[in-house]
Structure formats: structure tokens, C-alpha cells
Amino acid sequence: MYRSVHMKQRRKYAQECKRQTITGVIMDEQGKLLITTAEPYQNERVAGLLAGRRLAQIKFFFEQQESVLNRIYIARVSKVLSNLCAAFVEIEKGVSCYLPLDHIEEAFFTKKLGSSKICQGDELVVQVTKEAVKSKTPTVSTRLTLISPLCILQPAYPGAFFSRRLSPEDCARLQEWYRSQSVVPQGCGVLFRTESKDASVSELNDELFRLANKWEKILTYSRMRTCYSCLYRPDESAASILNSFYTHEYSEIITDLPEIYEELKNSQTKIPVRFYDDRLLPLSKLYNVDQQLMDALCKKKIWLSSGASIVIEQTEALVSIDVNSGKNTAGKNKEDAICRINMEAAKEIAFQIRLRRLCGIIIIDFINMNRPENNDRVLEALRTAFLSDPQSPIVVDMTALGLVEVTRRKRERPLCELEHRQLARSSGT
């Protein structure tokens, strides 16, 4: 009986995969957020966002536990680079970080040695804004922020700021609330995130009250703690990992981990949480999470439904993506056929960039087209596909050689770097 149910589920999954178009998935419809374990990472817990049956974004729990992103430290200045308008500071003994001096006038110093704006030996409060990527050190800033699902508290930057994805009507409503509230500490500002559009007044009050309390504690601790102290670290609970995902992109949370289910059920999340319990067919197998994760880690070539393909290569300086016609036959109208391939490839490229967390400079070599209007169509398709990416990649332009330049912020490690770190940990090195 159990074997029969198991085979029915597998057949149903295979049929859905056949019906699903392999490429061009944009988060137009709400998907599912899975919280389960991943075998390639020795059964580490992961949260994965599904678009249809495809894995669109992944977050590992071990990242959250070991990441220094958004932590606030009392750092010591080790070197000032006046010609670069930057400095190197240590947040821990031997852990050096890069500090741009754009906003040094607003910095909060706990120890000041010289009369200049900043000098070696000074101690100041900084926040990690970018993690170390490859050979580059982490980046820190004196512009502190406290992040929550609905909004971001910005000390020393008074006023209301809004996500670009909020409508003018939502911005007006939130602006009215901001003017009438008495929760935000004096001298602080608030950046309203996309999720705040459906928030009630009481929810906004509660959220800002919690952030205000955290900020008061940071101010108190900064006057009492010594250098290298960590004044603030983001919450490491299962509920806090949901901040990495847009809530409008999924309609339910599914988990097969009892402790995660209990924690989320008792949390303040509005999204329905469902517990999945099937020993014969684990959640990661039902949605093929392990195989999709391995493909994102190891597969350089991705086939498109048209028979064309894209090849992704990561180098030290940039990421190169090449579009090939592959098995596709152009037919009578070659130009239109190539345009269709490039349009399809643009959507898949945006999908893979988000899934693999590719960042920095990205160069895309689409198949050459003769009509300028077709180039414009492909660029517009790429920009549209990037709208669902939380990192908001920027399509710079198409060069004279027909190469498309894209930049994406380096806020977290690419998947390939996480793979190397985890393999090293598992081998005991």
C-alpha cells in the first residue's frame, strides 16, 4: 500500500515536470517556501523558494549562524588610505574590514585619538554591509541600520523612505502614519520595505517599538563595552531567516522538521505553515531540491526548451554567460528565431543569477542580431526578469561588440563558494 502511494506521488511529480516549461520562470504567481534538509550539505537545514516546481532562491541555516552580515561592532582603525578615501578597521583581532569614508562625519567614536576625521588607533561603531567575497575582505559602514520584515530603522537619517516596489498609494498611507507616530526615536528614520504595504498600524507600531528598544541597547552597550565587542547580531531563529525572502512570492511554508514547524507556528508570521510527514518520500525528494541544488552548484550548461543553451563561467574578475543556439534550428526567418532564443535565454539567465547568487560584474553574450529593435526587446526582457530579484541587478547597456553588461550587489557569497567552504568543513580541514 505504501509503495503504491509512493509511486503515485512520483508519477504525479513527473507529469507536472513535463507540463512545466523549463525556462522563463518569473515570480508572477505565489509559490511555496520549503524548509527542509539538503543531502549535498550533509543534511544541513535549508530554506528554498519554489517557483512552480523550480528552486528560485536558497538560504542555508549554517550561513545565518556563521555570517557576520549586519552585525554591529566596536572596531579599531588599523590603517587610513587618504588617497582612496577609505580605511581598514578590525572588528575582531586579525579580522580586517574595508571602511569607505563617505559618511565618516556621522560616525560614532567610542575612542578618538587625533584631531583629524579618522586616524589610526581610533575606535568607532561600524556595521558589516558586505561579507567577504573570494579574496576581498568584508565591507563595513558607519551608517547603521536595524532590519525587520516590515521596515528598517536608520539612526542619524531622520525621515520616511520607501521601497521602490511600493505603490504611490502605499507610500502616502505609510507617510501619514510616520507623521502621526511617536515610536521612532528622535533623530532616526524609517525605510519601509515592500512587505509593509499590507501591515496594520498596530503591526507597524510593534515592529518599530522592538527596533527602537534594540537601538537604545546598542547605544548603552557602546558606552560600556571594549574594542572588538559585538553590539548587535541579527536574530538566528528560523522565523528570522524568512527576511531573506519576499513574502508576496509564496503563499505557504512547508516543512518536514518538527522543531521548525513548532517555532514558526508560534511566531508572528502571517503565512500559513504546514507540516509535511511522509517517511517514504521526504520533502526534499518530493520537490527534487537536492538535484536542483547540485545542478546549481556544478552544472555550467543549462538547456532551454527551444533546444538552445546557456553556459555560465565564474572567474576571479567577473561572471561570463554565453548563449548558444545549440539544437535549435532557425527555420525560414533566422532573425526572428534568434530573437526568440535570446528572449527565452534572458529570462533563464535572470533566474540562474538569483538562484546561484552570482554577483559583481556579469557579462552576457547573446546571439548576435541585426535589428536594433530586437536588441532593445532582449534588454527589456532581461530588465523585466530582474524585477523579482531582491538584489535588484542593473542592466548597464549593450556594448559595441554586442555584450550585455550587468552588475549585481555583493551582499552574500555565491553558492559555489559555500560549496567549497562546506566541503572543507566536512573533510576536517
Domain ranges of the chain: 2-64+239-289, 70-141, 146-232, 299-415
How high is the pLDDT of residue 12? 47
How high is the pLDDT of residue 53? 86
What radius of gyration do the chain's Cα atoms show? 24
How high is the pLDDT of residue 427? 41
- Picking from 269, 145, 147, the residue whose alpha carbon sits closest to that of residue 203 is 269
Global pTM? 0.71
**Residue 217 neighbours by CB distance under 10 Å:** 12
Domain 146-232 sits in CATH at: 3.30.230
- Picking from 414, 411, 418, the residue whose alpha carbon sits closest to that of residue 145 is 411
CB 328 within 8 A of CB 308: yes
Cα–Cα distance measured from residue 95 to residue 412, given in angstroms and rounded to the nearest whole number? 18
How high is the pLDDT of residue 64? 65
Domains 2-64+239-289 and 70-141 equal at CATH topology level: no
**Is CATH 2.40.50.140 the classification given to domain 70-141?**
yes
Indicate the class that CATH gives domain 2-64+239-289.
alpha beta
Cα–Cα distance measured from residue 204 to residue 184, given in angstroms and rounded to the nearest whole number? 11
- Grid cell at residue 166: 511600493
What are the CA-CA distances from residue 388 to residues 23, 119, 189, 246 (Å)? 15, 42, 26, 9
User: Which CATH entry fits the domain spanning 299-415: 3.40.630, 1.10.3210, 1.10.3470, 1.25.40?
Assistant: 3.40.630
How high is the pLDDT of residue 215? 92
What are the CA-CA distances from residue 402 to residues 45, 299, 342, 345, 380 (Å)? 42, 25, 12, 15, 15
* Parallel/antiparallel/unpaired status of strands 360-365 and 319-324: parallel
Q: Which residues, given as ranges, of the chain have pLDDT below 50?
A: 1-29, 420-429
Cα–Cα distance measured from residue 212 to residue 319, given in angstroms and rounded to the nearest whole number? 41
